[in-house]
Amino acid sequence: MITIVLFGKPGAGKGTQAAFLKEKYNLMHISTGDVFRFNLKNNTPLGEKAKTFIDNGELVPDEITIDMLRDEVEKNQDCNGFLFDGFPRTIKQAEALDELLLSKDWDLTATIALEADDNILVQRILERGKTSGRSDDQDELKIRNRYAEYNEKTAPLIDYYKAKNKYHAVNGIGTIEEITQRLSQVIDQL
């Protein structure tokens, strides 16, 4: 079972790259953003809880995110592997993912990070905000608040995964094809 975490700040291109990688490596793509959007659009109880935080430009609490992810894994246990996009975002979530994988007798294969400059990412998100419908994609202050939360809560995962020899950094600036090629080089060496 291949299990890969695609890691990076909001706007780094995780969703775009995941679309190519899931096809190339025959993986089930679990996007926290897609799972949130589904729950928000369908006004599920978890979606209603998540909306309060998203509208304020805050990260959704771990408990809600973990419950959503667990449901997605349970629905897709017979696939060849998973590509997690936007999860984990905190040490607690990483530990919950480790526990979930262990309960299935699986191990995390790798965490691959798309790295890019904040100013470039802000522009990407503002552009995405024109069509995403997300209020936090249309306000630069909310975007920068998400980066502050990322630096406080998510950046510690870099050391967490480095300590497990599971962390690989990839330059996230360039054409989609160039970035896909960089990611593929890392995956092919795992």
pLDDT per residue rounded down to tens, the chain (190 residues)? 899 999 999 889 998 999 999 999 999 999 887 888 888 899 988 899 988 888 888 878 888 888 888 888 888 888 889 999 988 988 999 999 999 999 999 999 999 999 999 999 999 999 988 988 888 889 999 899 989 888 888 899 999 999 999 999 999 999 999 999 999 999 999 9
Give domain status of residue 187, yes or no: no
Give domain status of residue 160, yes or no: yes
For the question of residue 37 being annotated catalytic, the response is: no
Can you give the length of the chain in residues? 190
Q: Can you give the pLDDT at residue 38?
A: 86
Q: Give the separation between CA 85 and CA 8, rounded to whole angstroms.
A: 9
Catalytic residue among 14, 124, 166, 182: 14
Catalytic residue among 70, 128, 153, 164: 128
What dihedral angle (degrees, nearest 10) is formed by the CA atoms of 15, 154, 87, 17? 20
Give domain status of residue 189, yes or no: no
Q: What is the DSSP string of 68-135?
A: HHHHHHHHTTTSSEEEEES---SHHHHHHHHHHHHHTT----EEEEEE--HHHHHHHHHHHHHHH--G
Residue 78 domain boundaries: 2-180
Q: What is the identity of the amino acid at 155?
A: A
Name the domain count of the chain. 1
Paired tokens of 87: 């999860």
Q: Can you give the pLDDT at residue 5?
A: 96
SS3 at position 28: strand
Q: Can you give the pLDDT at residue 55?
A: 86
Give domain status of residue 186, yes or no: no
CATH of the domain at 42: 3.40.50.300
88 upstream amide cis, omega within 30 of 0: yes
Q: Give the separation between CA 45 and CA 35, rounded to whole angstroms.
A: 13
Give domain status of residue 16, yes or no: yes
For the question of residue 14 being annotated catalytic, the response is: yes
Give domain status of residue 104, yes or no: yes
Catalytic residue among 142, 146, 166, 182: 146
Q: What is the identity of the amino acid at 43?
A: N
pTM: 0.82
For the question of residue 124 being annotated catalytic, the response is: no
